[in-house]
Chain A
């Protein structure tokens, strides 16, 4: 018995009913359509890397626009990456059931780290947050870390 074979008579009957609709369509596809179609390709658009915002002069608006577009594309890609990691975590929880806390720990840690990094780069920028806002956020974070130490270890007293 192969994988696709019907298990019992009922399934065989249902398959026969389905083939009343499926048979003619499949015959038409294989005999008329597939024989006559030419083979030609199409491609996905690929964007070249352009200079980032830290390489642009302050009065160069075209450089800023291109850097902004690249930033938005990178943010879309990062959103999808995070979605995939989150979906992986959810699938693991569904599969493991009650012992997901131990079995899915590595996947959870991977997702948590990725979410933290995403928030560091793109979080709290607001609706109008463009690449300049993200750049300034990075600058402020670096200044804060220089003054107070790594984020999460608390602020130092200015008197120190």
Chain B
């Protein structure tokens, strides 16, 4: 749509024309069968267009490449066959899964079951050590509270500085007054 402004022309002719009357658009009447062009008020089709956008996006990026990858893996590599463990052989941790994708993930991405188990045992051991120490501390505190014989937790020391101050005051009074 081409926009024509008449402000430039009006400045040459020194006519004051308000801007609201100046901007008008030129529209081509092609064919002209429908009559003058109208602005049709319809409900928004934005959600439908957005849905199509997302559908195309996820199909092109996800469904087709990943689908062909998974199809190729299943057809050309295929799942493993169950076999008894041979003598004197310790299987690697990824050889305990049958699907090739699970084997890949177990081999390169996930920690092994043995690693997880040993970490768990170590964690339990450490927490148990802390628990035993806390139990011991609680027992010692209880005994100190019960017996009150050690100069540690429940001992209230006798401060003598106030006694000394009071005695000094009395001594000074004795010196000055005589009684």
Contact-residue size bin, chain B (C-beta under 8 Å from the other chain): 20 to 34
CB-nearest residue of chain B relative to A34?
A: B78
Q: Is the interface of B mostly helix, strand, loop or mixed?
A: helix
Query: Are the C-beta atoms of B75 and A41 separated by less than 8 Å?
Result: no
Chain B nearest CB, measured from A12 CB (Å): 32
Query: Are the C-beta atoms of B75 and A42 separated by less than 8 Å?
Result: no
Residues of B within 8 A of A (CB): 75-78, 80-85, 91, 95-98, 103, 113, 121, 124-125, 128, 132
Contact-residue size bin, chain A (C-beta under 8 Å from the other chain): 10 to 19
CB-nearest residue of chain A relative to B129?
A: A61
Q: A33-B76, A40-B80, A62-B121 are in contact. List 8 more A-B contacts (CB 8 A).
A: A33-B78, A41-B80, A41-B95, A42-B83, A42-B95, A43-B95, A45-B113, A65-B124
Q: Given the known A-B contacts A59-B132, A61-B128, are A41 and B83 also in contact in the complex, defined by CB atoms under 8 Å? A: yes
CB-nearest residue of chain B relative to A39?
A: B81
Q: Given the known A-B contacts A41-B95, A42-B95, are A36 and B81 also in contact in the complex, defined by CB atoms under 8 Å? A: no
Q: Given the known A-B contacts A61-B124, A61-B128, are A42 and B98 also in contact in the complex, defined by CB atoms under 8 Å? A: yes
Q: Given the known A-B contacts A41-B95, A42-B95, are A61 and B81 also in contact in the complex, defined by CB atoms under 8 Å? A: no
Query: Are the C-beta atoms of A40 and B81 separated by less than 8 Å?
Result: yes
- List chain B residues, Cβ under 8 A from A40: 80-81
From residue 32 to 52 of chain A, which have CB atoms closer than 8 A to chain B?
Answer: 32-33, 36-46
